[in-house]
Chain A
Amino acid sequence: MTSSLLIRQLEKTVNSGGQPLTILQGIDLEIKPSDTVAIVGASGSGKSTLLGLMAGLDQPTAGEVHLLGQRIDALSEDERAAVRGQGVSFVFQNFQLLGGLTALENVMLPLEIRGQAKPRQQAQALLQEVGLAARAHHYPNQLSGGEQQRVAIARAFAGAPKILFADEPTGNLDQTTGAQIEDLLFALNEQTGTTLVLVTHDPELAARCQRQVHMTDGRLQEVL
């Protein structure tokens, strides 16, 4: 079985004030389908940069990234977008819902963009799944933080993605709500068999994953 994600000798250097600054170096990582992996580490350790590279949102300075069986590190942004369109989705710390769209429409959007059949019905089913069927026609600013994140999760699972990247999914929520979101995320993950890669500095959340990797100063270390 091919890996969902395979990274070889990944390196990311940026230009900071005229000086090259290495953010990531020598990173090797392989994630199997249906795995749940937590990337943990202190602020500024490079977790989010790594997430961006894994998801094809950014280009590495050196090394290889294979996402869903395709090597994407040498692809153009538009080509990487096409790969993302085939089964990558996201959950963000700040939810990233579109303020002008209702909850239902937010969930429908990726389905529509990917040209899937019956987006409305699918989206409705997903909202039902996250317990928000009653609030389908509310706008994000009419929803609480927890509800917004649930909509975002429904959107992330729309179209049955093969891999889901989550960036501090509970970072903006209080503990109780955060815990509910975690439950939801793992429950859906179990149901759909989606690979889950999440970045967090919450040890409890990390502990619920099958694997944990630790970032320190741009290097990766498996936590056993």
Chain B
Amino acid sequence: MSRWAELRLALRLLWREARSGELTLIVTALLLAVVATTTIAVFSARLDAAMQYRANDVLGADMRVRSATPIPPEWQQQADALGLQHTRTLSFASVVLHDEAMNLAAIKAVDEGYPMRGRLRVTDRADDEQGTLRQQGPQSGEAWLEPRLMALLGVQLGDEVEVGRLALRIVGVLLEESDRSGNFYSFNPRLMMNWHDIAASGLTEAGSRLNYRLLLQGNDTALQQLQNSLVLEPNQQIETIQDSNQALSNALEKARQYLSLAALLAVVLASVAVAISAQSYAQRHYDISALMRTFGLAQAQITRIYTEQLLILAVLAMVAGAVLAFSLQAALIWLLQDVLPKQLPHAPWQAWLLGTSSAGITLLGFALPHLYPLARVSPLRVLRRDLTPVPLQGWVLSAVAMLALTGLLWLFTGDVVMSVGVMLGGALVLLLLLTLLTFGIGRWRQRLQQRDLPLTRRFAWQRLTRNGRQTAGQILALALTLMIMVVIANLRHDLLADWQASLPDDAPNVFAVNIQPYEKAQFEQSLDEAGWARQTLYPVYPSRLIAVNERTVEEHGISEDPAVNRDLIITSVTELPKGNRVESGRWQALQEAGQVSVEARLAQRLNIALGDTLHIRSAGQDQYVTVSSLRSIDWSSLSPNFYFIFSPDVAATLHPNYMTSFHVPSEQQAQLTQLIRSYPGVTLLDTQAIIEQIQGVLQQVTLAIELILLLVLIAAVLVLVAALLASLPGRLREGAMLRTLGAGRTLIQQAQRSELTLLALMSSGLALIGAELMMAGVYQGVLNIPYQPFGWHWLVLPLITVLLLWGIGRVLMRPVLTVSPLHVLRDNRS
């Protein structure tokens, strides 16, 4: 028989078996693995490409200097002297008004020469979604708004908006701004205006939280020379491509990691389903193999036929999986559209190959080892059915499977150490859980053996405990999936809602910052006249931590901590603020000179202890203060909270501005608009809007993760289906025996249901315990919110799981009830 004829035979046999349904399960599991990996691989690749693409334009310059204070004119002169092109921008958050409508916007004022690099796409027609690339920013008196801001304010092209004391006419819709930095402010929609209108707006009076940027372009040597010659204040920073957009890419990276982990979980489960179905496929094909040997096929030919069939299956799964994955990643991108860059480039072909290669790897690692004995079936089996080939040893099967998964993980992460670590760690944890469960099931079996149980329940637990390890595996797979789904669903639906519900009705919903000393008393009076519950007006001093005990933060290795690498807001009060509790040291010590009180967790993180001397630079002045108390803070209170509190003598040498928070009832929004008009220099942050925005983002991200989790759930169900199908011949035999002994269908059905109910209860119980632990950890460890244990989940989840398993069981195990016992017993004779 020629190789070509062999391949044709392999194809024909495969086609015939596929048609008879023999391959459905293995193909479904394979398909699922491919869909999960390809979706994530392609999604990640597109995200990467977008990031890369953006990174080039994202600075809008070759180099940038950021400063909280105006850029010194000497720097521009220096840049001129070095032959560098330069321009300035200023960005800050401020409220934008139109009639009664108002919204917090990310304002950006741009000077001549902007944009320097990158793209600025603007349209001046409402029906134009493409716009044109512009070489300069808006003219004086004009503004460009992002479509989202226009919608929020209910304005159209040609309308006027108020920015501080200034009215600007909307002449353009901002469609793309490639150097838009991805920090928190970017969640606020953009308003772009002309640099020369800043002064008239009155928004930049001293103390405002401002981001000045000097954008530079030119040759590397000149840029390097300038960089070396600049003497930077702590609030000033050189920005290069590497550190731009860090925040957003970090957040997306996190989301991507979660998605990848979920996808990997789906692949692992699908692989287990492939392994189980391959094993029972092999067992069902021992006779066929033996028969083909009697027809004259050599061992090597049989090996080739099965391998070719696997390869064909892999290719089919790759193609079909890629098609499905295409839709699914599009769905992911659609779900995450508000969080993702607007234009995502296509994924390179490598991503498709990487994703679809999971089919091959899964088959190699999980199916092939089980099919290995097929070629070794003795032809004598046609006469003696007890001649079963020896399968590969358990440890070989596990090792091959682990190797395949590690390879897959490595392909995905490109990090071999992490891949091996995760695999070994994961395997260890799973093995531990599996052993514990198997042991528990064994103990249970012993205990129940001594009891007189009704027949149906006895059958059920006997079935479950007969192969304790397999049962443990099924329970674990199902429990793990259910647990993750419960946790994610709860985080999404309850987390922020719970937190908001836990706040009192008059909890502050507006933060006011940048209140200047001269307007402090008047501002306080305005709030009180309006009758709005408010906090104290806290003086604040933007500062930076320079050193601890005369060793710099760099030497301490804490310079990258988010509390250290940017300006801190420090206050000075004599009364312990509400929601603060002294954990150690003395609060009264702040009455003495040169003292500071530090938030306890930050102190722990930065390795700061009582009695340490901190070197803090505030507005250019160096302060040396001693840590005299550590405080814990209720961060969820929505009051101004401070990491550091100076003793009054330190504050006396500094010029403060003030901040506070207050509650505006929803029906008094108009009065708030009035307040904004009266104090254009004060920045008001509507926390309600911010919470809703964060909630929205969280919803999208969790929805995306849930979509992938759906694949995980399908994979877990597949494991169950594979296990049930593999046990079907045994069940058929047992059912036939029982029926010949006079058992009715009802009895058998009840026994089946009892078994599945036990399985469902154990899985969902385990899942709920795990979820409770995880949620308690998240609430108390991460979010500092008192944890409420689940209530109705304990009823609903087990019920849903029971019904799900009953449904699956009813379909799969129908033959046990319907096939005639004679048929079954005759088939199994000999």
Q: Which A residues fall within an 8 A CB radius of B?
A: 48, 51-52, 55, 57-58, 77-78, 81-86, 88-90, 92-94, 96, 98-102, 105, 109-110, 112-115, 139, 141, 145, 167, 172
Contacts and interface: CB of A to CB of B under 8 A. Distances in A.
Nearest to B379: A57
A52 B382 CA distance: 9
Contact of A114 (B284, B295, B299, B383): B295
Contact of B830 (A81, A114, A172): A172
A110 B830 contact: no
B297 A94 contact: no
Q: Which 6 A-B pairs have the closest CB atoms?
A: A85-B296, A78-B298, A100-B20, A100-B17, A57-B380, A110-B295
A82 B298 contact: yes
Contacts of B830: 93-94, 172
16 contacts: A48-B384, A52-B383, A81-B296, A84-B293, A84-B294, A84-B295, A85-B295, A85-B296, A94-B830, A98-B288, A99-B284, A102-B16, A112-B12, A113-B9, A115-B1, A172-B829
Given A48-B383, A109-B292, A115-B1, 5 more contacts: A52-B383, A81-B299, A90-B382, A92-B383, A114-B1
A135 to B, nearest CB: 16
A57 B294 contact: yes
Interface in B264-316: 284, 287-288, 291-300
Task: Tell me which of A57, A92, A167 has the highest count of chain B C-beta atoms within 10 A of its own C-beta.
Answer: A57
Contacts of A85: 295-297
B622 to A, nearest CB: 84
B610 to A, nearest CB: 77
B129 interface: no
B295 A113 contact: yes
A58 B13 CA distance: 27
B417 interface: no
Contact of A100 (B16, B292, B378): B16
A112 B298 CA distance: 15
A30 B304 CA distance: 37
Nearest to A94: B830
Interface residues of B, number: 35
A78 B287 CA distance: 17
Contact of A92 (B1, B296, B382): B382
Contacts of A167: 383
A117 B637 CA distance: 85
Contacts of A105: 16
Contacts of A83: 296
A109 B13 CA distance: 9
Contacts of A92: 382-383
B151 interface: no
Contacts of B447: none
Task: Tell me which of B2, B13, B295, B826 has the highest count of chain A C-beta atoms within 10 A of its own C-beta.
Answer: B295
A96 B296 contact: no
Given A52-B380, A100-B16, A78 B291 contact: no
Contacts of A58: 378, 380
A96 B384 contact: no
A101 B296 contact: no
Contacts of A81: 293, 296-299, 379
A110 to B, nearest CB: 4
Interface in B15-52: 16-17, 20, 22
B396 interface: no
A78 B295 contact: no
B294 A82 contact: no
Contact of B299 (A48, A78, A86, A113): A78
A70 B466 CA distance: 50
A114 B380 CA distance: 20
Contacts of A100: 16-17, 20, 22
B29 to A, nearest CB: 18
B795 interface: no
A51 B295 CA distance: 16
B13 to A, nearest CB: 8
Given A58-B380, A167-B383, A96 B287 contact: yes
B5 interface: yes
Contacts of B823: 141
B20 A101 contact: yes
B292 to A, nearest CB: 7
B297 A113 contact: yes
B296 A82 contact: yes
A58 to B, nearest CB: 5
A110 B188 CA distance: 73
B377 to A, nearest CB: 11
A110 B829 CA distance: 25
A93 B284 CA distance: 18
Nearest to B17: A100
A172 to B, nearest CB: 7
